[in-house]
A and B are shown apart, each in its own frame.
Chain A
Amino acid sequence: MKGMSIIVKETTRLLAGLIFLYGIYIIIHGHLTPGGGFAGGVVVAGSLILLILAYGSDYMHLTREETGTTITENLALLIALLIALGGMAFGIKVFFSNWLPRGTAGELVSAGVIPLYNIFIGMEVAASILTIFLALLIFKEELTK
């Protein structure tokens, strides 16, 4: 599909990086402020979808399957599952327990395993929403060709 007008392209070029950074902020501070993995992942995916919509998919070389996002999504979930299984090896040896040291409440590096979960779930949600968008885009391209 073609891109949009030049005003949209210039504005997007300025804004997309800030939206991406805001999404990462929501993900990382998930144990201190509302948000966390799901909401931050959606914002990160939103910034990338904004880029694709503004510049048009002719710029991207879309293959038949979307390989990169699928591998990212599954790898992130696999690592999250391995962290959960790590609770069975360290700490109190229970599945899904919080086995890293907790620290003091209110700091960025605290609360054990929860920031790690937030980061990987954020990556996974962003990759999966991108996969959905790219799959629908490839359907549409094949429909109109």
Chain B
Amino acid sequence: MIVYLLCFVLFLTGLYGVITRRNLVKIVISLSIMEFSIFLFLALIGYVDGGTVPIVDPADKGVVTYVDPLPQAMVLTAIVIGLATTAMLMAVIIRIYRKYKTMDIREIKNLRG
């Protein structure tokens, strides 16, 4: 149970970073920390007591307990999605730097009201 609570603490750390940091790159890094905490949580869900790596070895006879491979497949897909999101954010940050000449989020407030 305590490992799930630690994952949640990591999620809250990332959320704190997104809310309070001023630099644009730090916001993106905090968003990545939030994503990684959820990947950790998903991978921990599929743990079976006494299970081994879910790869079938043809030389193995007898009943073998595997851990659940479905959350691991979910995490692989979600990692690639997280990569696409982060790459998109980085490209937008570079363009913002070229237009606004600053990376401080308090200076970027053209849209109001």
Interface residues, chain A, with chain B CB atoms under 8 Å away: 33-34, 38, 105-106, 125, 132, 135-136, 139-140, 143
Contact = CB atoms under 8 A, between A and B. Distances in A.
B50 interface: no
Contact of B80 (A38, A106, A143): A38
Interface in B62-103: 76, 79-80, 87, 90-91, 94-95, 97-98
B56 interface: yes
Given A135-B91, A136-B90, A34 B55 contact: yes
Contacts, number: 23
* Interface size range of chain B in the complex: 10 to 19
Contact residues of A: prevailing secondary structure: helix
B58 interface: yes
A38 B80 CA distance: 8
Given A38-B76, A38-B80, A143-B98, A136 B91 contact: yes
Given A34-B55, A38-B80, A136-B90, 8 more contacts: A38-B76, A38-B79, A105-B56, A125-B80, A132-B91, A139-B95, A143-B94, A143-B98
Contacts of B95: 139
Contacts of A132: 87, 91
Central interface residue in B56, B80, B97, by most chain A CB within 10 Å:
B80
A72 B44 CA distance: 37
B76 A105 contact: no
Contact of A139 (B58, B80, B94): B94
B53 to A, nearest CB: 8
A106 B58 contact: yes
A34 B67 CA distance: 14
Nearest to B58: A106
A139 B67 CA distance: 45
Contacts of B58: 105-106
Contacts of B76: 38
